[in-house]
Amino acid sequence: MKVYCQYSGVEFEVSYFSNMKLTYAHPIFTASPKLLLSRVGDWAAGKLNESERRLLFLALLNTTELVEWRSVALPSDSIVQNQMEPLAKFVGWMIGLQNPSVIFSKIVIQPENRYLENCKYWIQAWQQEKKDFDEGYRDSSIASKQMRREEALERLIKNHSLKTEDYARLLAIWTWEACNVPTTLRDYYTQIFTTKNIKIYEIKTVDLEDMLNYMEDALDAGSIFAHAAFRHVRLLLAKNKAGLAHGLGIEENEFSNLSFEILRDTPFIIQEDAIAEENMNLIAIQAPSEEPTLQKYPSKLAYLRAKAAWQLMQSQRNKSAAFEEKIQESLKQDELDNPNPEDGDEL
């Protein structure tokens, strides 16, 4: 029996009833997309003849379910050869698509366009619609992820039993997304943002200032998240500038009432200037009389602050003792140089 394919116009034979002729779809049009795609390799290797190439191409076109057949399709072999690869790629993408809400343009094949001269533009239109969907899905996915992150972050911010440093990493992620910080800066900024305890004083003040300036330029301060981010970074900067002795005692709830002089940019270098000297005197006055031990303090921060003050006091005492010793030596030398001063001489 001879059968005329209603889609491709290709004639083929089947067993039995040899004197009959029918119009019906070639069996390849019932093949699954995966099976059809598995034969694209034969096309690429040049193993298919012209009729097989046309059948494979039209079967792939049919499997998109975006074609309404009102006529046989008779594309030239040139069209089939040039459009096979982009069509196969599109079909491969559609296999994994699990979103029924995606809408693509539909094509009607009728006698006026049966040679498929515009097939190239049909496939390009589908590819553009695919691109729009991918971008929209990606944007929607990012927005959904950001929304979930903000919901979790808001709960943390409103939990007054937590400090900002307890959720600093999550807040940092939100901040850099909102500021659109370049990838090259994010890791370093996150490292600064999540720094706590004594590590704060190892950060360069200029880096903290640069990060804060970036945030002020790029971040809208109107949200609860931005407010928390700005407050956290400004607190880090204040502690860093205050130095080890002052900074460790600054708490979030005290931040709005800060009234201290800047002692030094790093906690390990004593500056020899008037402000530093005055601040060191104030610290020494408040220092404990005995060397602090960790067990006597409610927290490690309180212990470190007390020990820094005690060490400063010891340093000042040593300097004072050395100064007095030099005065005594000077007096002794003066007595040796002038053993019998006359009665009328003044010392």
Query: Nearest 10 degrees: CA dihedral of 69, 73, 77, 80?
Result: -10
**pLDDT tens across 167-197, in order?**
888 888 888 888 888 877 888 889 999 988 7
Q: Are residues 118 and 183 in the same domain?
A: no
What pLDDT does residue 48 have?
Answer: 94
What pLDDT does residue 271 have?
Answer: 41
What pLDDT does residue 263 have?
Answer: 38
Q: Are residues 232 and 284 in the same domain?
A: no
Q: Are residues 133 and 212 in the same domain?
A: no
Q: Are residues 191 and 276 in the same domain?
A: no
Q: Are residues 213 and 253 in the same domain?
A: yes
Q: Are residues 124 and 40 in the same domain?
A: yes
Q: Are residues 172 and 254 in the same domain?
A: yes
Q: Strands 67-69 and 107-109, how do they pair?
A: parallel
Half-sphere exposure of 229 (CA within 13 A, CB side): 32
* Domain contains 296: yes
Strands of the sheet with 2-5, listed across from one edge: 11-13, 2-5, 21-24
Q: How far apart are CA 125 and CA 119, in angstroms?
A: 10
Q: Are residues 256 and 281 in the same domain?
A: no
Q: Are residues 130 and 203 in the same domain?
A: no
At 302, list the tokens.
Answer: 């309180």
What global pTM score does this model have?
0.43
Q: How far apart are CA 296 and CA 281, in angstroms?
A: 24
What pLDDT does residue 265 have?
Answer: 38
* Domain contains 36: yes
Q: Are residues 67 and 168 in the same domain?
A: no
Q: 342 in helix, strand or coil?
A: coil
Q: Are residues 130 and 210 in the same domain?
A: no
* Domain contains 152: no
* Domain contains 148: no
Q: Which of 50, 51, 39, 62 lies closest to 10, judged by CA?
A: 51
What pLDDT does residue 330 have?
Answer: 66
* Domain contains 248: yes
pLDDT mean by block of 10 residues, the chain; 347 residues: 91 87 92 93 93 95 92 94 93 74 84 93 88 66 64 80 85 86 84 85 86 87 85 88 61 47 38 46 65 77 69 71 66 66 48
Q: How far apart are CA 61 and CA 344, in angstroms?
A: 125
Q: Which of 319, 203, 340 lies closest to 270, judged by CA?
A: 319
Q: Are residues 256 and 298 in the same domain?
A: no
One-character DSSP codes across 172-222: HHHHHHHHT--HHHHHHHHHHHT--GGGGGGS-HHHHHHHHHHHHHH--TT
* Domain contains 342: no
Percent of all residues in the chain with a pLDDT value above 70, rounded to a whole number: 73
Question: What separation in angstroms does the CA of 114 have from each of 4, 65, 73, 81, 232?
Answer: 16, 17, 5, 17, 68
Task: Among 267, 300, 322, give the residue marking a domain's end.
Answer: 267
Domain that holds residue 320: 270-336
* Domain contains 97: yes
Task: Among 223, 243, 267, give the residue marking a domain's end.
Answer: 267
* Domain contains 145: no
Task: Among 267, 293, 313, give the residue marking a domain's end.
Answer: 267
Q: Domain count of the chain? A: 3
